[in-house]
Structure 1
């Protein structure tokens, strides 16, 4: 069968999602304005810079004759597929995004999307996390997804509240020490 008639994807671009960035069915794709802008900038870069460069290399390599052993051509085609997959993913995520600006949060005494929360564990150790969208997660910087176990435990809590965090080692009680939101303006 010709490769032209074989579908590489069933159309569900969630398969293109990086591990951990999958949204549970029926949930909204919340994002901060900064996260939305970062994704939009990545899409622009892929479309205007990266993809045209690779297309140029593939066209040049294709003109060199035998494509079966042409490394530039084979690598270029592979890279082009990767770029196109990422473009499809970014387009889909940006179209479904619901941008929520944490600076506009009116109820600042409770934990909601976009909050930066400092909490204390039983041994007194304090951790700080910022609750962001699934595509904005960066655990090294303390940014956790709003669907993560820690965020789910903290949502709607107030300073001084003790909440139960469900961990693989069993439930753990943590206390909300501080809640911060970015300033509006």
Structure 2
């Protein structure tokens, strides 16, 4: 099984979400399911059918989080030199077409959130930026079209 890189905070977030689903949400869903069973297990008991569906959705979420956590490998400290874009580094780039300046932290796919400045190293832009130095220009073929970025600054 291939390991997926994740930061310590990202791992803690996933583990906390799993714990919440197991300790808070699952007992509530099971209680709803038991309550709905009191009216009988029939095809016309919509409350039971909805509770059963909610239970199966919850089990899928829990299984998905367990699988993600099993695949994760926490990266602690720097594995790259400080002047090269790598996992965990903060990178400031400029879109050369629009002039827009963006600041990203390079993270794993399970904790990616571009709106909050967390860019996956497996995304098209992330893959292109990995290993680049300050001043390098990168052309990326994204679903929205071709983009050209210049690496302005790399922060640890």
TM-score normalised by the chain length of structure 1: 0.75
The residue aligned with 2:3 is: 28
Q: Which residue of structure 2 aligns with residue 67 of structure 1?
A: 42
Q: Secondary structure at the match of 1:72?
A: helix
Identify the range of structure 1 (119-128 vs 139-148) with the bigger mean alpha-carbon deviation. 119-128
Q: How well do the aligned residues superpose, as a CA RMSD in angstroms?
A: 1.8
> Which residue of the other structure, out of 106, 128, 131, is the alignment partner of 1:156?
131
Q: Counterpart in 1 of 2:89?
A: 115
Q: Unmatched 5+ residue regions in structure 1?
A: 1-25
Paired residue total: 153
Deviation at 1:175, TM superposition (A): 1.3
Question: Please, which runs of 5 or more residues in structure 2 have no aligned partner?
Answer: none
Whether 1:105 and 2:51 are equivalent positions in the alignment is no
Which portions of structure 1, spanning 4 or more consecutive aligned residues, are displaced by more than 6 angstroms?
A: none
**Could you tell me which residue of structure 2 aligns to residue 81 of structure 1?**
56
Superposition deviation, residue 115 in structure 1: 1.5
Q: 1:159 to 1:69 in 2, by over 3 A?
A: same
Higher strand share: 2
2:103 and 2:88 mapped to 1: Cα distance? 13
Task: Quote how far apart the aligned CAs of 1:92 are.
Answer: 1.0
Give the Å deviation of 1:66.
5.0
Residue 109 (structure 1) shift: 1.3
Q: Secondary structure at the match of 2:5?
A: strand
Q: How far apart, in 2, do the equivalents of 1:99 and 1:112 lie? A: 14
